[in-house]
A and B are shown apart, each in its own frame.
Chain A
Amino acid sequence: MKSKLLPLKQLGAKIEVVEAGKGRDLLYLHGAGGHMVDDPLLAALAGKYRVVAPLLPGYGRSGGEDGLRDMLDVTLHALDVLEALELDKPIVVGHSMGGMIAAEMAAVAHTEIAKLCLLAPAGLWLDDHPIIDIFSKLPYELPGLLFHDAEAGRKLLTAGGGNMEDPEFLKQFLVMNARRMGMAGKLLFPIPDRGLAGRLHRITAKTLIVWGKEDVLIPPVYGEAFRKAISRSKLVKVGKAGHAVGQEKPAAVLEAIRDFF
């Protein structure tokens, strides 16, 4: 996988774009945690597609986050990125917060996005099924919330990790976390609902929705809600997978995407 910086006039900053693989174009929008080290989903998708994965401002080397304050800012930014990347009728894939952004893009610019894949997207709120407050969680709690197999998830999350007792590393970690989750909070804090429910009906794209059967962060009942609200959609549930369904079961997610599109 290679990574480049793309200057974006509308943002007045450069964003980082990861690219890998050959084949049809696939745009991938990451979740609130950003890309994992050697991300298993990106690696799997790159076996069959040309994967282009921009990082949201505040993540990695992407700057300009101070200029993005709300859902409309981020949706229009993501459409600017899509335009600047000059992709050919891509499948737009988004995970969790990235799925929320992808759904907003497809609702706002429904004439431009024809193939949509939502992996356990955020964006809806059901009073009877409240979503856990991810912002108040401590690092050690995350593997169990994101993965069905918490121990395997912990290894994925800490791959390439440093020493938390080292003050300099800790400072860098805190800065990274503040930038990333600070940005994510503009869409997800305190409740991950910015009115998407009222716009999902505008989506005309052929839409694949994928959910981990063991997702405890955003439970699978939300998959049903998305399926009902998007007219040309199908819901696929993946066994033995949690919220990070693509990272936990990359082969199954790749197969679902290939079957559907």
Chain B
Amino acid sequence: MKFTWFHLMPWPHMPDDFREKHRSVWVDLPNKMYQPELGHIAYHQYLDQLEYAETVGFDGIGVNEHHANAYGLMPSPNIMAATLTRRTSRAALVVLGNSIALYNPPLRVAEEMAMLDVLSGGRLIAGFPVGTSMDTNYAYGTIPALTREKYAEAHELIRKAWAADAPFAFNGRYTKLRYVNCWPKPVQQQMPVFIPGGGSVETYDFCLDNTYSYSYLSYSGYLRARLLMDGYWKRVAERKVDESPYRAGFAQVICVADTDAEAERLYGPHVNYFYNRCLHVYPGFADAPGYRTVKTIQTGALSQFTSAAARDYPSMSWKDLTENRYIVAGSPETVRQQLEELIKTLRVGNIFCLMHIGNMPDDKVRHSTKLFAEKVMPHLRNLWPEWQNHDDRFWCHPMNEPVPTRIAAE
């Protein structure tokens, strides 16, 4: 198993009456709410937490991209990852990822990711999300029905740019470049790629065609993820490719305390903040018409995205959230049991651990993280022995002798 400590970097200062005063945490939330001086503190605390996760033994540390929102404050995940290249030395840098349809030209992503890979000595795991509709369509103006075509073309350009040894011309519909010439080139000959998926069936085949790992990001927990992940593994079987669990990952909100009751006491308010403020998205921004393909709508896999599902959050108690496994929370033993069930039922080799939740203060984040690293993670390491607990195709390949970063800095 591989465990990546993942940060969303939410805005932790949304007021108590946030839901009443604002219709959405995303797209049209007035940015007067953002206070740069407090943002300065939050950014550095969040980066410290990612660095801490490496020191306690997580395999990877993760960042992602969102726009115009208080849910996740990383319009540029590459800037965050760049700081981490200098302050970490072992963990994979999981950039999950860059919304490649949004860059003009998308060659920029190939260049910046190559920079990150070189800076980190081959520790980059690249992610290519289509991006949420809030980000891609409403905040960045991409025409919904053309988003996937633009994404596919950007992907083709990036892969070709990394693979090429000499300049070439790229005549795309959306990007035309006479000289594609990616300097620098990445350290890794075969860049591992994770694709965040949220219910589009086309993504299954895209991952299998390219040997990418499918990463399901959901906040409704692993019981409700079964339908979608079963669909993925069914497709894997139909395609007759190997069933390596590292072909899939799952993001999970996790809270660890000494006892179950202590977990509720310590983390309850922050989980509440997350579900009721960070996920408070106006339904009109959730899914611009044309963003989903007709094929995906027809599978009915989007039921979890209905406004009814979102409306359930405010009324959910800690008991509802834990019993229905929206979150995995409790004593180390409780968390271990539930995660083992999650890992086996979804058949995933990657867990993206969401351990900073909503407005959780730093000491609680570290407490939960440390307990997880010491008392949970070691017992879950060996769940896929037949795969030797590693699949080289779906993890980074660091250089043998990278420059010690601290020495290099002096």
Tell me if A69 and B298 are in contact (CB < 8 A).
no
- Complex-state Cα separation, A175 to B298, whole angstroms: 7
Tell me if A167 and B300 are in contact (CB < 8 A).
yes
Chain B, Cβ-Cβ closest to A183: B145
- Complex-state Cα separation, A180 to B297, whole angstroms: 14
Interface status of B231 (Cβ within 8 A of chain A): no
Q: Using Cβ atoms and an 8 Å threshold, which residues of chain B touch A185?
A: 143-145, 288-290
- Complex-state Cα separation, A37 to B300, whole angstroms: 27
Residue in contact with A171 in the complex, picked from B141, B282, B288, B298, CB distance below 8 Å: B298
Known contacts A136-B284, A138-B284, A190-B138; decide if A183 and B297 are in contact (CB<8 Å): no
Give A residues with C-beta under 8 Å from B. 65, 69, 135-138, 167, 171, 174-175, 177-183, 185-186, 189-191
Chain B, Cβ-Cβ closest to A182: B290
Q: In angstroms, how far is the closest chain B Cβ from the Cβ of A185?
A: 5
Q: Using Cβ atoms and an 8 Å threshold, which residues of chain A touch B282?
A: 136
- Complex-state Cα separation, A182 to B147, whole angstroms: 11
Residues 142-181 of B contacting A (Cβ, < 8 Å): 143-146, 173
- Complex-state Cα separation, A175 to B296, whole angstroms: 9
- Complex-state Cα separation, A31 to B37, whole angstroms: 48
Tell me if B283 and A138 are in contact (CB < 8 A).
yes
Tell me if A136 and B288 are in contact (CB < 8 A).
yes
Q: Using Cβ atoms and an 8 Å threshold, which residues of chain B touch A135?
A: 137, 144, 288-289
Q: In angstroms, how far is the closest chain B Cβ from the Cβ of A103?
A: 20
- Complex-state Cα separation, A170 to B138, whole angstroms: 24
Q: Using Cβ atoms and an 8 Å threshold, which residues of chain B touch A181?
A: 289-290
Tell me if A189 and B283 are in contact (CB < 8 A).
no
**9 A-B contacts, Cβ less than 8 Å apart?**
A69-B146, A138-B284, A174-B297, A177-B289, A178-B292, A181-B290, A182-B290, A185-B144, A189-B290
Known contacts A171-B298, A190-B137; decide if A183 and B290 are in contact (CB<8 Å): yes
Tell me if B143 and A178 are in contact (CB < 8 A).
no
Interface status of B285 (Cβ within 8 A of chain A): yes
Q: In angstroms, how far is the closest chain B Cβ from the Cβ of A222?
A: 21
Residue in contact with B289 in the complex, picked from A167, A178, A190, CB distance below 8 Å: A178
Q: In angstroms, how far is the closest chain B Cβ from the Cβ of A177?
A: 5
- Complex-state Cα separation, A9 to B298, whole angstroms: 29
Q: In angstroms, how far is the closest chain B Cβ from the Cβ of A82?
A: 24
Q: In angstroms, how far is the closest chain A Cβ from the Cβ of B104?
A: 15
Residues 278-305 of B contacting A (Cβ, < 8 Å): 282-285, 288-290, 292-294, 297-298, 300, 302-303
- Complex-state Cα separation, A235 to B283, whole angstroms: 38
Residues 124-152 of B contacting A (Cβ, < 8 Å): 137-138, 141, 143-146
Chain A, Cβ-Cβ closest to B302: A174
Q: Using Cβ atoms and an 8 Å threshold, which residues of chain B touch A175?
A: 294, 297-298
Tell me if B284 and A178 are in contact (CB < 8 A).
no
Tell me if B289 and A171 are in contact (CB < 8 A).
no
Chain B, Cβ-Cβ closest to A188: B143
- Complex-state Cα separation, A191 to B137, whole angstroms: 12
Residues 249-298 of B contacting A (Cβ, < 8 Å): 282-285, 288-290, 292-294, 297-298
Q: In angstroms, how far is the closest chain A Cβ from the Cβ of B200?
A: 12
- Complex-state Cα separation, A151 to B49, whole angstroms: 54
- Which 7 pairs across A and B sit closest by C-beta, in order of nearness? A182-B290, A181-B289, A182-B145, A136-B284, A190-B141, A174-B297, A185-B144
Chain A, Cβ-Cβ closest to B296: A178
- Name the residue among B173, B297, B298 with the largest chain A CB count within 10 angstroms: B297
Chain A, Cβ-Cβ closest to B28: A136
- Complex-state Cα separation, A189 to B288, whole angstroms: 10
- Complex-state Cα separation, A69 to B300, whole angstroms: 27
- Name the residue among B137, B173, B289, B298 with the largest chain A CB count within 10 angstroms: B289
